[in-house]
Copies of this chain bind each other. A is one copy, B any other.
Amino acid sequence: MAWLRKPIRGILMDITGVLYESGERKAIEGSIDALRMLRTADIPFRFITNETQKTKEQLDSVLHRLGFDIYEREMFMCVPAAKKFIHDLNYRPFLLVHPNVEAEFAECNQNEPNCVVVGDAASNFSYENMNRAFHVLVDNDDSVLITLGKGKYYKEDGKMTMDVGPFTAALEASALQRPYATDRHAIVIGKPGEEFFRLALEDMKLRPEDVVMIGDDLVCDVGGAQSAGMRGVLVRTGKFRPEDENHPTIKPDAIVKNLLEAIERVLSTERPAKEVRPE
């Protein structure tokens, strides 16, 4: 197993589709055990998620109800990162986000918006709201478009559902023409953006080449992690589909049944390494 030949000193994990299936009220088989094993092993780990329909508190509470023992400080989420970005650069956001997370931006000045923040807004993706976002972009040449991740879809209640990515593509397409000189591409705060991964890496004080990212999204989790210099492992849970194994450009370092298998493999090589046993 080539991906384990170089030591792994830290682990990043996606949450939805890796720990539990979105919409379903139970943990994915083995993931509670996987986490329990990690807690007793001597290896740092963090959770990194593009979930933008829940606050950190809400997600934390869901995870605890499902039987996961997780701390808020271990979770890296898009909304707090976007809030900091907006605050640091003094942007005034128009929010095209899920009602659950609107209050997170309460401190931001939202008058005369000069930026659009798009999250997984679900039914907030109405024609009226899309048009309001469009106007923030076309009425002011300096306004920016910030997208919380670039996911195309996710699985909820067993059904594929459109994610933020396509709606970001719509806004990019609508605003591209003005001004002609500049293509207006969204600033991505979330996976697969390298900056977002870096927040978690810095928190673990680790270099990307020492870390593996485990996720169910081939493009955002695996492709994003690999682009950032990490190893990327794909689980066959969540939004995984058989054709993910034959993507023309993104090749996971490993494809495993689920989180438990990934963690077992990492830990089984991690510990022998310390005892300096031959492989």
A interface with B by C-beta (< 8 Å): 121-128, 130-131, 134-135, 138, 152-153, 160-162, 165-167, 169-174, 176-181, 219, 241, 243, 246-248
Contacts and interface: CB of A to CB of B under 8 A. Distances in A.
Contacts of A179: 243
A152 B177 CA distance: 8
Contact of A128 (B123, B131, B153, B181): B123
A177 B241 CA distance: 11
B180 A152 contact: no
A178 B241 contact: yes
A166 to B, nearest CB: 4
A126 B176 CA distance: 22
Nearest to A141: B243
A173 B177 contact: no
What 7 A-B pairs come out closest when comparing CB atoms? A169-B173, A166-B170, A166-B174, A170-B170, A125-B127, A166-B173, A123-B127
Contacts of A167: 170
Nearest to A151: B174
B126 A161 contact: no
B173 A160 contact: no
Given A173-B152, A174-B152, A243-B179, A125 B134 contact: no
A171 B165 CA distance: 10
15 contacts: A123-B126, A123-B128, A124-B127, A125-B127, A126-B127, A130-B162, A134-B162, A134-B166, A138-B160, A162-B174, A167-B170, A169-B173, A178-B241, A180-B243, A180-B246
